[in-house]
Amino acid sequence: MRILDRLVVKNFLVLFCLFLLCAPALFVLGDLAEHLDDYIDRGLSLQEVTLGLAYLYPLFIQWCFPIAALLGTVFTVHRMTMHREIVAAKAGGISFHRLIAPLLLAGVMLTGVALALTEVVPRTNKISAQILRSETPGRSWRSDFVYRSEEGLSWQVNRLTASDGRMTDVVIERPRTKDAYGLHVIADGARFDEDEGWLLAQGFLRTLNTDSTEMVIEFDRLVMADLVERPEELLEVPPEPEEMTYAEINHMAGIIQRTGGNANELLVKREQKISIPVTTLIIILFGAPLATSSKRGGAAFGIGLSLATVLVFMMLLRVAGALGEAGAVSPLAAAWIPNVAFAAAGIALMIRVRT
């Protein structure tokens, strides 16, 4: 690594870390201003509030990653432009593209850190919610719904109560195919057992064999091992996406889809678990050439440019997310539209910049 590379990376990381350490405090103040009355009404002590907000720090840091990367890039490149260091580097045979290569490498590494945070943040958010007692009880029952299990069985349930893990008036069906026998089960009820799963009670099991023969069995108790979801997982209202990892969101979205619900919001959040951390790299690609566009202005220019970029990105992120939740575009496209737009703009600026 050249001495110039070390200088560029050092200046960038100092600014990045400085903002990353200071900015979360602003989110803490914002949270207190918004929820202080709620904390007082719940009778929380100062120690509980402090500990709960401390567990939210990983979330605040995650939010700050793209902004810190943008500020670090803009101030690093703009300061080098103002002090004619970029001109000196070009005179020495170093192109602008080669000059900012260390920033892109740092962006790749920071993107990896941001991706790792996406698995840590849901767990700390859950702990914070428990400490601050901010979790709201979801519905404890559901009636008259259809659920399709991972094994392809369709469950028709009259009523489900999650508190005692019971179903009433259960009908289970699987159509006959060339390779598998059909199934039709009617039961008065079902009960969830921690060890055995769902146990059906008082009903009839009818099998439709591939050779067109049928068999009917009356049962007092029947174990259905194909349905592995717990009672609370079969309810319509899922946990908050901020409290679920990528795998948990994927699992919950599958349950909602099989119960006939709309999982677009969760699917968009799932894709954003990957796209938003990658924004850290893309925002560096976009901000570096943009910071050379003006040779005048100091800190005000850097702050104004960064705020304008953040506002445009957030607006595009919300619009694309709303389109994905409404089904106008796929969840994958909704999550990546802002990144693709900023990456295209960054590449265009990189091509136009004088090297």
pLDDT digits (tens, 9 = 90+) for 242-288: 888 888 888 888 877 776 678 888 899 999 999 999 999 999 988 88
Phi, psi of 195 (to 5 degrees): -90, -40
Q: Residue 337: its pLDDT value, please?
A: 94
Q: How confident is the model at residue 203 (pLDDT cuts 50, 70, 90)?
A: very high
Residue 167 reports pLDDT greater than 90: yes
Residue 160 reports pLDDT greater than 80: yes
Considering Cα of 135, then 139, then 145, then 149, what sign does the dihedral take? Answer: positive
Q: Residue 354: its pLDDT value, please?
A: 72
- Which residues, 6+ apart, have CB-to-CB distance to 182 below 8 Å? 174, 175, 176, 207, 208
Give the mean pLDDT of 94-100: 87
Give the mean pLDDT of 205-234: 85
Q: Residue 248: its pLDDT value, please?
A: 85
From 281, 280, 301, select the one nearest 77 (Cα to Cα): 301
Rg (CA), the chain: 27
Q: Please count the residues of the chain.
A: 355
Q: What token pair was written down for 245?
A: 């990892």
Classify burial at 15, counting beta carbons within 10 Å of its beta carbon; exposed 0-12, middle 13-18, buried 19 or more. buried
Q: How confident is the model at residue 294 (pLDDT cuts 50, 70, 90)?
A: low
In single-letter form, the type of residue at position 270 comes to R
Q: What token pair was written down for 346?
A: 């960054």
The string of pLDDT tens digits covering residues 101-137 is 999 999 999 999 999 999 999 999 989 988 887 655 5
Residue that is written with structure tokens 């850190």 in the block: 113
Q: Are 250 and 263 in contact (CB under 8 A)?
A: no
Region of residue 222 (left: phi > 0; alpha: psi -120 to 50; beta: else): beta
